[in-house]
Amino acid sequence: MEDVVLVSATRTAIGRFNGSFADVPASDLGSHVIKEAVSRAGIEPGQVDQVVMGIVGQAAEDAYLSRHSAVKAGLPIGTPAVNVNRICGSGLEAINTASRIIQSGDAEVIVAGGAENMTRMPFYLRKARNGYRLGHDQIEDGIIHMLTDPFHGYHMGITAENLADQFEVTRLAQDELAAESQKR
């Protein structure tokens, strides 16, 4: 089994919903991070064997986030790329997946991480493709749909509150972790 080490790390700034990154596709955000991570690692783009990226909510423009980000970052067009999804843990899942690929011996150098721009999630008109003969339908917010538990029908925010209560995670502890994360 191969040893796996992290050689460099970087991240984008975190923007607000409908904020300064509102018009920036996730693949553009991802490309800046890939380019900087490769630079910090002191390697050439052609040395990257594969790209693994996580994304929670894919708009059509992000259907192949890993490939688009890699090519925009200057990696060779032939560099394999794959998207993974584990909702809010998608970026971490990308890193875990990359680690397993390296351990298997299938690659040596992998760029792994995630990118997201929830502001760009679309609204849905579920019956629009085939038309509305008579009547109407409701416009569905893709973000609300994505963040609602399909089994219990409640929003992710409620799930977070329930877990905080269950595991006795205080608001102060959450704020301290958020501040530490922002400093990184």
DSSP single-letter state for residue 155: B
Please check whether residues 136 and 112 belong to one and the same domain: no
Domain count, the chain: 2
Please check whether residues 46 and 115 belong to one and the same domain: yes
pLDDT tens per residue across span 77-102 = 999 999 999 988 999 999 999 999 99
Task: List the structure tokens of 43.
Answer: 């390697």
50-54 and 123-124 as β-strands: parallel, antiparallel, unpaired? unpaired
pTM for this predicted structure: 0.86
Could you tell me the residue range of the domain that residue 32 belongs to? 26-120
User: Residue 8: phi, psi to the nearest 5?
Assistant: -150, 160
- Vertex 94: Cα angle to 89 and 95 (nearest 5): 100
pLDDT tens per residue across span 158-179 = 988 999 999 999 999 999 998 9
Please check whether residues 86 and 146 belong to one and the same domain: no
Q: What is the CATH number of the domain that holds 83?
A: 3.40.47.10
Please check whether residues 107 and 163 belong to one and the same domain: no
d(CA 95, CA 84): 10
Within 8 A by CB and 6+ apart from 57, the residues are: 116, 118, 121, 142, 143, 146
Residue 74 lies in a domain: yes
Residue 10 lies in a domain: no
Handedness of CA 16, 20, 25, 27 (dihedral sign): negative
pLDDT tens per residue across span 20-72 = 999 999 999 999 999 999 999 999 999 999 999 999 987 788 889 999 999 99
Q: Which residue has the tokens 């997946």?
A: 97
The pLDDT value recorded for residue 130 is 87
